[in-house]
Structure 1
Amino acid sequence: MTEPLPHDVTGSGPVLLVVPGGAGHPMGLQPLTERLARHFTVVTYDPLGLAHGRLGLPVPDQRPAHWSDGAHRVLEAVLPPGERAFVFGTSSGGIAVLDLLARHPERLAGVVAHEPPCVTVLPDGAERRAELLGQFDGVGRPPAEGGSATPMGVFLAHVLHPFTAYVPSLRGAGPRLTLAAGADSRGQLLHRTAVFLADRLGGAFAEFPGGHLGTLDHPEDFACLLTGTFLSGTHTSA
């Protein structure tokens, strides 16, 4: 049997899988996960193992399916038989959880995808993706390998381009899916994308505190709303 990918577990209660953004390094998420752990068994997935000793090692170009397959393996390892998990992903992690719901829905009770940058779904998606990628063109790219490697370097080299080309294939996701965007992101590309996806996929839409980095900037309020979203009963249908 294939071993699950690196992950950390804290708290008790229903299982809540958290998929970070960027290159999947969970840096800065501890205040959020500590708050969530009051109500959930929080399983923080580290898809590339960057927080578990692999930062600096060679990384191939990533695909959402790579991350969702790993997330499924983690869930199979931690979920008791017959139980289903809640799942939260932000940014590139939001794309991964959309793919997880499309490919492995049987173990999921509810999914919240926060500002997934799959902008090619928009009617003007090609232009908007070029615009999004252009925002990073002027960034001095930090190393992706070696002793000075950074998670941002890995993200820019191996995650950003393939993930932003992803087009979700869900149909009838219904009450299990909520697309989320930050209240401070109104009028911005990823807020528009989340609203469009909610309508296209038949899910709900919700605004969360802050902007794209609301998980880091407002962890207490963000965790409170996320907890209410999952435990309100709207994410319990099959």
Structure 2
Amino acid sequence: MTTTAVPVTTGRLRVPDAELHYEVRGSGPLVVLVAAPMDAGAFTPLADLLAADHAVLTTDPRGIGRSRLDDPAQDSTPQLRADDIARLVAHVGAGPAAVLGSSGGAVSVLALAQAAPPLVHTVIAHEPPLYEVLDDRDALHAGAERMIGTYLAGDRLGAWRQFLDLADIVMPEEAVQAMFGGEPSPQQAADERYQFEHMVRGTCYWRPDVAALRDGPVRVVLGIGEDSGGELCDRASRALAARLGVEPAMFPGSHVGFLEDPAAFADRLRAVLG
């Protein structure tokens, strides 16, 4: 069986302190898909499916992949990434948009909801890794600082093991070795270093404004993978949903369900948006 490639328009947008790579597919109501630290490529299968009835905007987050910073040592914060998303939506001119953010991108879209620009009507925060909404935040902070120190000391594999432990993700050792034991490509190495050195603290230590999210004009949905039970992002999503007084929306798969089964994830996303 062959599939027809979905036409993609790529572009670059100059924003304060950075130049962003973005991609647009399809036509119709605008859906934006964002992650951090994953780049636009992670959403390609999902974006291709959604492009059948939506305009779909994806982007590399600042400092990652093809989105270049004027100062490579500038930290990435949810507020900066939220401003980038708002500028991209305004640039493509197809808003107001629904925005799905996954992992660190989920924190970005929560910051976007707090800013509440008229360009966005719905944000779906799929598994944000928020330490500050959890009772064990102090232990998580300490673990994150050890992990960052391990990575910067040159122990890549050890840092990723600590990452998985912090995230409450159980993975067989052979899978850990397969994913993190080899030599990364130059771009992967650069993205990893930026993640550990400049993105983890700003993202995971960010404290959401519950009142602004609960009472603001933007619809806020907390998404959780059906297979993520007990993991850090499951716990954080449920804790924030409880504070907002909303029920989480369950999505197929795990933390990266949009990669595992894009078709099922697209169906669920359409249902949540609908």
What is the Cα deviation at residue 93 of structure 1? 0.3
Match of 1:236 in 2: none
| TM-score (normalizing by structure 1) | 0.82
Deviation string, structure 1 residues 51-98 (Cα, Å, up to 9, x no partner)? 43649x824211111100111111111234xx5110000000000000
CA distance in 2, matches of 1:205, 1:68: 22
Paired amino acid for 2:22? H
Take 2:98 and 2:30, find their aligned partners in 1: how far apart are those partners?
Answer: 6
AA partner of residue 165 (structure 1): Y
Q: Closer, same or farther in 2 for the Cα pair 1:50/1:176, shift >3 Å?
A: same
**2:194 matched to 1:154?**
yes
Matched, 1:88 2:100: yes
1:110 aligns with 2:150: no
Look up the SS of the partner of 1:34 in the other structure: helix
Structure 1 Cα separation of the partners of residues 146 and 78 of structure 2: 21
Deviates more, 1:32-41 or 1:86-95: 32-41
Structure 1 167/143 Cα, relative in aligned 2: closer, same or farther at 3 Å?
A: farther
Three-state SS of the structure 1 residue aligned to 2:52 is coil
| Deviation at residue 184 of structure 1 after TM alignment | 1.0
Contact 1:25 / 1:49 at 8 angstroms: preserved in 2? no
Equivalences for 1:44-59 in 2 at 5 Å?
44-48=58-62, 50-52=64-66, 54=68, 58-59=72-73
Gapped regions of structure 1 (runs ≥ 5)? 232-238
Letter of the structure 1 residue corresponding to residue 125 of structure 2: A
Where does the alignment leave 5 or more consecutive residues of structure 2 unmatched? 1-12, 151-157, 161-179
Please name the residue that 2:236 is paired with: 193
Counterpart position of 1:176:
219
Write out aligned runs for 1:130-141 (5 A).
130-131=142-143, 137=150, 138-139=158-159
Aligned residues: 226
Per-residue CA shift, 1:14-72, capped at 9, x if unaligned? 011111232x42233211111111221101122226443649x8242111111001111
**TM-score (norm. length: structure 2):** 0.72
> In the alignment, is residue 222 of structure 1 matched against residue 265 of structure 2?
yes
Going from structure 1 to structure 2, the CA distance change for 1:29 and 1:133 (only over 3 Å counts) comes to farther
Structure 2 counterpart of 1:122, from 134, 154, 178: 134
1:234 aligns to what? none
3-state SS of 1:52 partner: coil
CA distance in 1, matches of 2:132, 2:191: 24
Q: Partner of 1:20: helix, strand, or coil?
A: strand
Q: Is the 8 A contact 1:143 1:154 kept in 2?
A: no
Give the root-mean-square deviation of aligned CA atoms: 3.0
Distance in 1 (alpha carbons) for counterparts of 2:196 and 2:107: 16
**Secondary structure of the residue that 2:118 maps to in structure 1?**
helix
Q: Any idea what the Cα deviations from partners look like across 1:117-138, whole Å, max 9, x if unmatched? A: 1121113322234446656742
Q: What's the CA shift for 1:202? A: 3.5
